[in-house]
Structure 1
Amino acid sequence: MTFDPHAPDADTAKPVNTRTAVNGQVTLVEYDPAWPTMYQRQADRIRSALGDRAIIVEHMGSTAVPGLLAKPCVDILLAVEDAADDAAYVPDLEAAGYVLRISEEYDGHPHRVFKGPEINLNLHVWSAGSTEIDRHLDFRDWLRAHPEDRDRYASAKRELAGKDWVFMQEYADAKDEVVLEITARMEQETRS
């Protein structure tokens, strides 16, 4: 079966908080210049659904870094006033075609993940002011500005993707070592 990056993800039919199974290797593809356009179309849909409740909408993750290979899934960061207040935004996102897949606390921060309409995407929702927002956006911006770290990250991802995984989160967790290595350089340069 050929992957279609414009097709919605089959995960939308799963119950909330069901882990995504891989049962094999993770598929990575070369950077697709269509990803920013795909993001923008979804960002417009999110802003239309939530209005000023969408405090921040940003393209994040590997598909937001030109030249970086990625899983063919557009990651979007959305900040709302209080991500734990589902009634304030979940019904409107669902009416716009998004499906809640994860409802959790992540390092003490309320975090929601939706799958989306039209394309394979993960919409990550955090509360405004969460340190997770800066962590994700700072890492994205660093990789955009530092091709040597972008390439180091790509190399680690390629190596890890070739291994067999039961769940997608295991692959994501395995990237922590290289992410921490790059983050340490970011922090060192910021202090200098």
Structure 2
Amino acid sequence: MARKRGPFEIWSERRQREGSNVTLIDLYRIAAEARGLAAHELPLAERAALRDRALPVMWPGYQVPAGTERAEDPVEIVAYDPAWPARFQSWRGRLAGALGEAAMRIQHVGSTAVPDLPAKPVIDVLVSVLDLDLEGSYVPAIESLGIQFRSRDDLHRYFRPFSGLPRDVQVHVCVAGTNWERRHLLFRDYLRTDESARDAYLAAKLEAARRWRDDRIAYADAKTEVIVRLMQRAESWAVETGWRARRSLPPPGPGLRSPRPPQTPARVRRGSSAPR
């Protein structure tokens, strides 16, 4: 007699067929519906167990070093704070001093890098390096600043403050010039230039925070559909404006809602292939 498939097996098969469009929340939904619950009504401990099985599938190479746990803070979206750019600059200086030549560049990404966009009050810092596997060249330096190495996957490394410290910053390390780096910079720059995109993203953030306040991974997952749609628009914008990651937009100056996009170079034409 065949063994009955559990929620994770059903989800895994769907993901193999349909790809990354099958999300963590879909796994929660499969498990919850069998009991007449909505996905967000599934007990947190059960969601955590499912999440631990799903993340290595969602993020190939995903690993969590032992002893890096900390209590999860609830997801809270607050009004844009004009002090966020200065907070990033402070962290940038500290990281640059600690990392030296290991850091190819250090940039402000995420919602706190977009003027007028409400966000979680956590500064996202993107550090680009030459070789992600040379963890000894950057992990001790970042941890010396009180930011703990929390996870690795094939494309990036993630750091957050040690347990007991305020969760007001998180650091992402990726390889310079990769698509992982490019997509984060492009999404940031596009949101800086397009008010309708910011509004759409904010609506998704607020709904995700309302439903997934106690689950940060599900909060991020709930925004996937909107991010995919906005990234399609961002790629078109990149072609039209000649945007390149190596000359991504600076943060706007005082009193400006958003910077003007760079002028379209003569060699770039509407409908041409996306920049590499």
After TM superposition, the score normalised by the length of structure 1 is: 0.82
Match of 2:230, SS state, is helix
Shift of 1:189: 3.5
Counterpart contact for 1:15–1:101, Cα < 8 Å = no
- Contact kept, 8 Å, 1:28 with 1:72, in 2: the verdict is yes
Match of 2:67 in 1: 15
Paired with 2:76 and 2:144, the residues of 1 have a C-alpha distance of 30
Does the C-alpha gap of structure 1 residues 142 and 21 become closer, same or farther in structure 2, counting only changes over 3 Å?
same
Structure 1, residues 104-140: CA drift from partner, whole Å, max 9, x if none? 22xxx2x111124776111000012221111001000
| Residues 79-98 of structure 1 mapped to structure 2, 5 A cutoff | 79-98=128-147
Deviations for 1:58-104, whole angstroms, at most 9, x for unmatched residues?
00000000000101111000011112211111112222332111122
Distance (whole Å) between structure 2 residues aligned to residue 81 and residue 190 of structure 1: 25
Q: Which has the higher contact order (CA 8 A, sep 6+)?
A: 1
AA aligned to 1:90 is V
What secondary structure sits across from 1:39 in the alignment? Answer: helix
RMSD: 2.1
* Corresponding residue of 1:62: 111
1:12-161 → structure 2 map (5 Å cutoff) = 15-16=67-68, 21=72, 26-105=75-154, 109=155, 111-116=156-161, 120-161=168-209
- The ranges of structure 1 where at least 4 consecutive aligned residues each deviate by more than 6 angstroms after the TM superposition are none
TM-score, with length taken from structure 2: 0.58
Q: CA deviation at 1:176?
A: 0.7
How many residues get paired? Answer: 172
Which amino acid in the other structure matches residue 211 of structure 2?
A: K
Q: Is there any run of 5+ residues in structure 1 with no aligned partner, and where?
A: 1-13
In structure 2, relative to structure 1, the CA distance for the partners of 1:165 and 1:98 (3 Å cut) is closer
Query: Are the aligned partners of 2:147 and 2:170 in contact in 1 as well (CA < 8 Å)?
Result: no
Q: Is the 8 A contact 1:100 1:114 kept in 2?
A: yes
Kept after mapping to 2: 8 A contact 1:62/1:140: yes
CA distance in 2, matches of 1:118, 1:166: 17
One-letter amino acid of the structure 2 residue matched with residue 158 of structure 1 = L
Tell me, in whole angstroms, the C-alpha distance in 2 between the residues paired with 1:174 and 1:15: 28
Q: Are 2:132 and 2:173, in contact at CA under 8 Å, matched by a contact in 1?
A: yes
Taking every aligned residue pair, what percent have the same amino acid on both sides? 39
Name the one with the larger strand percent: 1
The aligned residue for residue 7 of structure 1 is: none
